[in-house]
Amino acid sequence: MKQFLLIFIGGGIGSFLRFLISKSLNSYFPNFYLGTFLVNIVGCFIIGILIGLTVKNNYLSENQVLLLATGFCGGFTTFSTFALESHILLKEHSIFYMSAYLGLSVMLGIFAIAAGLWLCKLL
């Protein structure tokens, strides 16, 4: 039961922060969804660090990984919103912005995870 509560708390905090960041930044570039883009990339970087620290030397306990990686990062990042916003751009015939949003999100997300893992190797 403790693990469910940790995931619930982490997910709530992550979702709340995602909402605040997306709400404040998405209005700056209405054709790109900057807020969602940034939280997904930052979330990838954070999860890379968390998993890197755990794999390297068991720095985090199982409960801490559940709270931070599964809960917080799971709530903070969002594939469903990313897919919806991509669909909206497609529906609006914003092919350039949709392609940039999709391509950059996937490529930089993978890069951010790798960067987080690499950073942990240096520590």
Q: What is the reported pLDDT for 13?
A: 98
CA 91 to CA 104: how far, in whole Å? 19
Q: Could you tell me where the DSSP H helices lie in 1-123?
A: 2-25, 34-57, 62-65, 74-76, 79-91, 95-122
The torsion region of residue 54 among left (phi > 0), alpha (psi -120 to 50) and beta comes to: alpha
| Contact between 105 and 37 (Cβ < 8 Å) | yes
Q: What is the mean pLDDT of the chain?
A: 93
Q: Which residues are annotated as a binding site?
A: 74, 77
Q: What is the reported pLDDT for 92?
A: 94
Express each pLDDT in 36-87 by its tens digit: 999 999 999 999 999 999 988 888 999 999 999 999 999 999 898 899 999 9
| Helix, coil or strand: residue 59 | coil
Q: What is the reported pLDDT for 90?
A: 95
Residue with tokens 């950073």: 119
Q: Which residues are annotated as a binding site for Na(+)?
A: 74, 77
